[in-house]
Amino acid sequence: MGFSLSASAAVIAVALFIALEIVTGSIFPTMEGINDSYDDLKNRMIDQVHTNINITSIDRQTNESNYDYNITIKNTGSTTLETNDFVIILNGTKQLFTSSQSYLYPDCIVYFTIVNVPDAGSNRIKVVADNGISDYAEYVMP
């Protein structure tokens, strides 16, 4: 009776050790991934707090029956933004554009150009940075 008790305790101890190894081997990497995700979320939120853009001017010129737009954006925040990641929505439609610089540095201005846009009747524009910060403007054209 003494040996079987020791043998069963050893078998249970080895089984618990193996189970503990399996559980910790799968839980710790998962917890590390969750922690990294929270760090990324925190960094994105900090970037959003430090980001602000303003549409300073909108110039529309006639191009035959369509229009060309020159939009001036100023970075009034403290985050450097990549202009290729911007989205410009003109009268509810996403537009292709070119920019005067690749980056919009804090307290600097970048010029965006949109060409050959048909007249939609309304005059609304929205510029969205890559982290979701945006500015909206309505403009009056003669």
More confident position, 71 or 47 = 71
CATH number where 102 lies? 2.60.40.10
Calpha distance 125→54 (Å, rounded): 12
What's the pLDDT score for residue 129?
A: 92
Residues 89-94 have a mean pLDDT of 89
25 and 90 co-located in one domain: no
42 and 83 co-located in one domain: no
User: Domain span at residue 70?
Assistant: 53-138
Q: What Cα–Cα distance (Å) separates residue 96 from each residue in 24, 45, 85, 105, 116?
A: 50, 27, 12, 22, 10
65 and 132 co-located in one domain: yes
Residue 61 confidence class, pLDDT cut points 50, 70, 90: confident
What's the pLDDT score for residue 141?
A: 67
Handedness of CA 55, 120, 59, 90 (dihedral sign): positive
Residues 88-111 have a mean pLDDT of 93
21 and 83 co-located in one domain: no
The tally of domains found in the chain comes to 2
Residues 101-119 have a mean pLDDT of 92
| Pairing status of strand 81-82 against strand 93-95 | unpaired
More confident position, 23 or 1 = 23
- Type of residue numbered 16: L
CA angle 99, 75, 96 (to 5 degrees): 25
What's the pLDDT score for residue 2?
A: 63
38 and 86 co-located in one domain: no
Calpha distance 132→126 (Å, rounded): 11
For 31-44, write each residue's pLDDT tens digit: 888 889 999 999 88
89 and 63 co-located in one domain: yes
80 and 105 co-located in one domain: yes
78 and 45 co-located in one domain: no
2 and 36 co-located in one domain: yes
33 and 96 co-located in one domain: no
**Closest C-alpha among 61, 56, 51, 57 to residue 128:** 51
